[in-house]
Amino acid sequence: MKEYRTKDIVVYWEPDRCSHSAVCLNQLPQVFDLQQKPWVNVAAASPEDIIRTIDNCPSGALKYSLPPGSLVNPDLGNGPGAKDYKTTAAAPSLSIKVIRNGPLVIEGEYELKNVDGSITHQTGKTSLCRCGLSGKRPFCDGTHYRQGWKVDS
């Protein structure tokens, strides 16, 4: 995990978790800039703007915390991007299994929301495509097997 800090905020980045969705690059390009070294410049925007952007990180690769003495409102520092974020909602029971050279199998209580916000499934078991070849994405249709898709894990 990499760390970037000012007196008011610490930003953490786990490169292996990053899905490269570019949410951070698009929302706050003055802070998150792949052309710069380091690519995260926490001094380039307010801690509040950084927090709002990291709260939108879909993979959880970016997190933040407020160091002792930070002038940021501590209530703002408790969002979904906070390093120690804990939800108070009852967590659904969910099991996710990675199938070697195959899909992700999820089982339990969950919500799978489409891009338009509609809920596709809520409970039971389903297989989600992880190869990107399925004709029924996000669901697996076995195309990975027919196409010989392989992955190391």
Domain annotation covers residue 118: yes
DSSP 30-53: TTB-TTSSSSB-GGGS-HHHHHHH
Assess whether 39 and 69 both reside in one domain. yes
Domain annotation covers residue 153: no
Q: 42 and 3 in contact (C-beta within 8 Å)?
A: no
Residue 34 banded pLDDT, cuts 50, 70, 90: very high
55: CATH: 3.30.70.20
Q: 23 and 58 in contact (C-beta within 8 Å)?
A: yes
Assess whether 130 and 62 both reside in one domain. no
Strands 2-5 and 119-128 come out as unpaired
Predicted pLDDT of residue 54: 96
Domain annotation covers residue 46: yes
Assess whether 108 and 134 both reside in one domain. yes
Alpha helices in 12-123 (DSSP H): 23-27, 47-54
Looking at the structure of the chain, the number of domains it has is 2
Residue range(s) defining the domain that contains residue 60:
2-78
**Which pair of tokens denotes residue 118?**
């509609």
Final residue before a domain boundary, out of 78, 102, 121: 78
Task: Measure CA of the first residue to CA of the last residue in the chain; give whole Å.
Answer: 21
Assess whether 45 and 99 both reside in one domain. no
Percent of the chain with pLDDT over 70: 94
| Locus of tokens 């690059």 | 25
pLDDT digit string, tens, across residues 52-107: 999 998 878 999 999 999 999 999 999 889 998 876 666 557 889 898 888 998 88
Assess whether 69 and 109 both reside in one domain. no
